[in-house]
Chain A
Amino acid sequence: MTLRQPEAGPVSAAADAGGANAMFLSSDARWEMVDALAARTVSPGSYEPSLADVVGELTVRPLTGIPVALAALYAFWSIFTSFAGTLMTDGFMVKIFDGYWLPWLQSVWPDPASWHYFIFVGNPLADNSLEAFGVLTSGFFVSIGVVLPAVLIFYLTMTILEDSGYLPRLAVLMDTFLHKIGLHGYAIVPAILGLGCNVPAVTATRILETKKQRFIMMTLLALFIPCGAQLGIMMAVIPESVGIVFLCLLIGFGLFGFILSRLIPGENPEILVDVPAYHWPVKEYVAQKLWNRTKAFLREAIPFVLFGILLVNLLYLGGVIPALADLLEPVFVVWFGVPKETAGPLIAAFLRKDLAIAQLSNIPMTPYQLVASVVLVTIYFPCVATFVVMLREGWRELLASIAVLLTVVFIYGGMIHGIGILLGVA
C-alpha cells in the first residue's frame, strides 16, 4: 500500500469549508468522504495479513470477541486484587498502619477522652486503622494504604489496554449493547475510566457526540460506576460480597440506561472508529500516563479524605449526624432496610465515597444490610470533586442529573430492599 499527497479537490474543500459543521455529517456521508479521499490518495497493492491482524479481527467479532473481553476483564480484576489487595494492602500496609502507626499515635497523643483525640486519632479502643476513624489514622490508611495501590494498578492496566489497541476493539464490541441504552461503543472509555476515578471520566464524556449521550453517560457514571478508591475499600471491607454489589450496579446501569434513553429526547448517531493494529505499549508513554493520572488523583483524593473525616467527626461532636439519623430513620429503616446510622456515611460520601464505605464497617449490620448500604453509598450523590466537574459541563445538566439521581436512589434502593424481603434475606 502506498500513500501520495492529496490534491485539492471537492472533498478536501468540503472538509476545509465545513469546519466544525463537518462533525454533523451522517455516518454514510462520512464513509463516502473516506472512500473519496482514499480513492484519491491510496494506491492499492498486495497485502498479506499477519497472524496478529487476524487475531485483531477476531477480537471485534462477537463470537470470538466476547470471550476475549471476558478474559480481559477477568485479568483486569485479578491483577487488581492480587497487587492492591493481597500484596500491598494486606501484605504491607495493614502491618505498617495497624502494627506501628496506630499504636504509636495512641501512645503519644494526650488525653484519649478529649475532642482532639476523637478527631485526629479516633476511637481509643480501636485495634485497626480502618475502624479508628481519626483524621491521622483512618485518613492516612484509606488514602495511602488502600487507595494509592488500587489507583496505581488500575491506571497501569488501563493504560496498557489503551496503548496496546484493545480499547477501540472493546468499543466496537460493546456498541450493540450500548446503543440499547442510548450510547455508542466509545462510551466504554468513560465507563472504564470511571472505575479509576469519576472526575476524568466525566471529562471523557465529551467524546460522545450529542447532549443526550453525554447526559445519560454522566448520570450513569455518577450512579452506577464505583471508582478505584471505592473498589479498593470494598475489597477491604466486604471482600466476599463485592460480586453481589457489582451485579446490583450492573443491572442498575442497564435498566436505568434503557429507561433514560427512552425518556430523554435527542439523537444517538453512529460513529466511525479506526481500529489500530495491536502493538506493544511504549514503556515511556505508559510511565508518563501512569504518573500524570496517579498524581492528579492523589492531589484530589488525599485532601478530600482527610477533610472528610475531619468534617464528619466535627458533625458527630456537634450532634448533627445523630439528629439527621433520627430525622431520616423512616426512609433508611423502612424504605431502604438499613440502619439509621447510615446517615453519617452518606454525608461522608459527598466528600469521598471510599471514606463512607470505610465508615460503614463500624456500624453493626447484617450481611444484607452491608451490601445494600454499599450499593446505596455508590449510587448516592457523586463525590464533591465529580460534582464540580459535572458543574463545569453545565449547571442545567447538573441539576437534571441530580433530579434523576435522587429519583433513581429512592426507586432502586427500595427495589433492592423489596427483592431482599422476597428472598428472605432482608
Chain B
Amino acid sequence: MKHNSRNTTIQRTGPVSRPGTIYSLYIGLLGLVTLGFGCADILIWAGASNGFSWGILAISGDDFFRWAWGGVVMVCGGLLLLSGAAHAATSLHQAAKAAVGVILVWVIAGTDFLAMLCAAIPAKASSPAFLNTLDGFLAGFAPPYTPALVIFPFTLGLIRVFRSAVHR
C-alpha cells in the first residue's frame, strides 16, 4: 500500500540555546522516569514483586491488560521522549517524536483517570442507592495513583516546548 501525504521531512535546526538545553534535559529526564515506570509496571505484573507502593504512587501489577500492555505503552512513551529529547526545542521532527511520547503517557493517564471516574460515580454494590455520595465520589480520587497519573502534570510543561518548536 502506498500512502499519499504531504512531504514533512523538513527539519529546522539551529544553534542550541540555553533554554533549548534545559528543555532537552527536562524531556530526557521525563523520558527516563517514564521508561523506568513502564519497566516497573511490567516487572511487577510478571511477579518480580507483590506490588509496589511509595507515597502517592502505587503499582499493583494485578492485571495483564493494565500493567503488562499499559507498561509496554509507557516503555514506548519513555523511549520516544528520550529519542526526541535532543534539539526538541529547535527541530520540528525531534519535537514531534517527543510529542508522540507524551501522547502515549497521556493515553495511559487519561484511561486511568476515566477508570477512577467510572468506579467513583455508582454507589457500592452493597448500598441500595444508585449514585455515590459526594464524599464517596471524592474519595474515589484519593491517592495512591498510578505512575502515569503521577507523571501527567510534569508533561504539561512540554506543551510550551512544542509551541516553541512550531513558532521558531
Contact = CB atoms under 8 A, between A and B. Distances in A.
Contacts of A115: none
B4 A275 contact: yes
The binding surface of chain B is classed by DSSP as helix
A172 B1 contact: yes
Contact of A79 (B64, B111, B119, B125): B111
B6 A82 contact: no
A171 B5 CA distance: 14
Contacts of B3: 60, 168, 172, 272-275
Contacts of B6: 47, 49, 53, 277
A168 B4 CA distance: 11
Given A27-B2, A58-B97, A71-B107, 18 more contacts: A50-B166, A51-B99, A51-B162, A55-B103, A56-B5, A60-B3, A67-B100, A68-B104, A70-B76, A74-B111, A75-B107, A78-B111, A87-B119, A91-B121, A92-B122, A95-B125, A175-B1, A243-B65
B4 A274 contact: yes
B76 A67 contact: yes
Interface string A45-83: 001111101111111100010011011101101110111
Contacts of A273: 1-4
A178 to B, nearest CB: 9
A270 to B, nearest CB: 6
Contacts of B114: 78-79, 82-83
Interface in B83-120: 92-93, 95-97, 99-100, 103-104, 107-108, 110-111, 114-115, 117-119
Contact of B73 (A56, A71, A243): A71
A48 to B, nearest CB: 7
A53 B5 CA distance: 9
A271 B1 CA distance: 5
Interface residues of A, number: 53
A27 B162 CA distance: 38
B10 interface: yes
Given A58-B100, A92-B122, A67 B77 contact: yes
Contacts of B77: 67, 71
Interface of B: 1-8, 10, 64-66, 69-70, 72-73, 76-77, 80, 92-93, 95-97, 99-100, 103-104, 107-108, 110-111, 114-115, 117-119, 121-122, 125, 128, 130, 162, 165-166
Contacts of A275: 3-5
A272 B96 CA distance: 26
Contacts of B7: 47, 49
Interface in A157-194: 168, 171-172, 175, 184-186
A347 to B, nearest CB: 32
Contacts of B5: 56-57, 60, 274-275
B9 to A, nearest CB: 8
A272 B2 CA distance: 6
A240 B136 CA distance: 27
Given A49-B92, A50-B166, A92-B122, A70 B69 contact: yes
Nearest to B79: A67
A87 B96 contact: no
A75 B112 CA distance: 10
A78 B8 contact: no
Interface string A76-105: 011101110011001110110001000000
A196 to B, nearest CB: 19
B67 to A, nearest CB: 12
A24 interface: no
Contacts of B121: 87, 91
A86 B96 CA distance: 35
B80 A74 contact: no
Of B64, B76, B118, B119, chain A has the most CB atoms within 10 Å of the CB of B118
Contacts of A58: 96-97, 100
B104 to A, nearest CB: 5
B163 to A, nearest CB: 9
Contacts of B119: 82, 86-87
Contacts of B100: 55, 58-59, 64, 67-68
A139 B27 CA distance: 53
29 contacts: A49-B10, A49-B92, A51-B95, A51-B96, A56-B8, A58-B96, A58-B97, A60-B5, A64-B97, A67-B100, A70-B73, A71-B104, A71-B108, A74-B69, A74-B108, A75-B107, A77-B65, A78-B70, A83-B114, A95-B122, A95-B125, A171-B1, A184-B1, A272-B1, A272-B2, A273-B3, A274-B5, A275-B4, A277-B6
